[in-house]
Structures are given as structure tokens and as C-alpha cells.
């Protein structure tokens, strides 16, 4: 039972870490959406339209993954509570299987989010450099 308690505390620590990270990434998603909307005109141009459309779709997909992952983690927490009240023999097996599954989903989510974020920052950086060059040209 001591090993089970140790695993339970470890899992709880992971859950807290995952939830905090998901909340932070949700704030980043809101920032990315604001960033995209603030550069709407440039992103709507003919040469960026298709890329922008794909990025927005990917951002929405990642956002949905985050919602689903958050729900999965909360359901997992509820399952732990119900298992704790009953079947201790299956608890250890459940904890290990669930932790591994959620860890895999979490890592996949983080990779996809970072990819989308990097692409959005890249395209916005190009727009900002282009706008800065136009300003320099117009000052001459």
C-alpha cells in the first residue's frame, strides 16, 4: 500500500503540473488568436491567405485537443477517487496505465501546440519585418 500511496502522490503532482501547463497554454492560445486578429489585413493578402487559413485551423485543432485533454485529466482524477474507495488491488495497475496514457497525450498536445505557435510567430515576424521595411522606405 505504501508503494501505491507513493505512486498516488506522484500522479497527483503530475496532474497539478499538467493542469497548470494547460492553463498557461490556453492563455498563450488566446494571445495567438489576438495576434492573428491584430494582423488580419496582412494575413488576408493573397500570398498569405492559404497559410493563414491552415494555421488558424491548426490552432483551433490544438485548442480542442487542450479542452479534451483537460477533461481527460479531470475524469482521471475522479476515477482515482472512486478507485481509492474500493478496489485497491487494481489501483496500482490503473494508476500506471492512466498516467502513461495521459503523459503520451500531454506530450503530443505540447508538441503540436509548439509547432503551431512557432509557425504563427514566424508569419507575424515576416509581416512585422515587411512593415518596418515599408516604414523605412517611406521615410526617405
- Residue ranges making up the domain that contains 110: 2-139
pLDDT of res. 132: 81
Number of domains in the chain: 1
Higher pLDDT, 131 or 134: 131
12-48: pLDDT as tens digits: 788 889 999 999 999 999 999 999 999 988 888 888 8
Confidence of residue 71 (pLDDT cuts 50, 70, 90): very high
pTM greater than 0.85: no
Average pLDDT of the chain? Answer: 86
pLDDT of res. 83: 66
Rounded to an integer, what distance in angstroms lies between the CA atom of residue 12 and that of residue 7? 8
Amino acid at each position: 500500500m505504501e508503494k501505491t500511496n507513493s505512486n498516488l502522490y506522484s500522479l497527483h503532482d503530475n496532474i497539478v503540473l499538467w493542469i497548470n501547463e494547460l492553463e498557461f497554454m490556453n492563455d498563450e492560445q488566446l494571445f495567438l488568436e489576438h495576434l492573428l486578429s491584430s494582423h488580419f489585413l496582412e494575413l488576408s493578402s493573397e500570398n498569405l491567405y492559404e497559410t493563414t487559413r491552415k494555421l488558424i485551423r491548426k490552432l483551433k485543432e490544438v485548442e480542442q485537443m487542450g479542452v479534451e485533454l483537460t477533461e481527460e485529466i479531470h475524469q482521471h482524477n475522479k476515477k482515482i477517487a472512486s478507485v481509492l474507495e474500493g478496489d485497491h488491488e487494481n489501483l496500482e495497475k490503473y494508476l500506471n496505465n492512466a498516467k502513461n496514457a495521459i503523459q503520451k497525450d500531454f506530450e503530443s498536445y505540447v508538441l503540436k501546440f509548439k509547432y503551431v505557435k512557432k509557425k504563427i510567430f514566424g508569419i507575424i515576424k515576416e509581416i512585422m519585418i515587411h512593415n518596418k521595411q515599408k516604414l523605412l522606405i517611406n521615410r526617405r
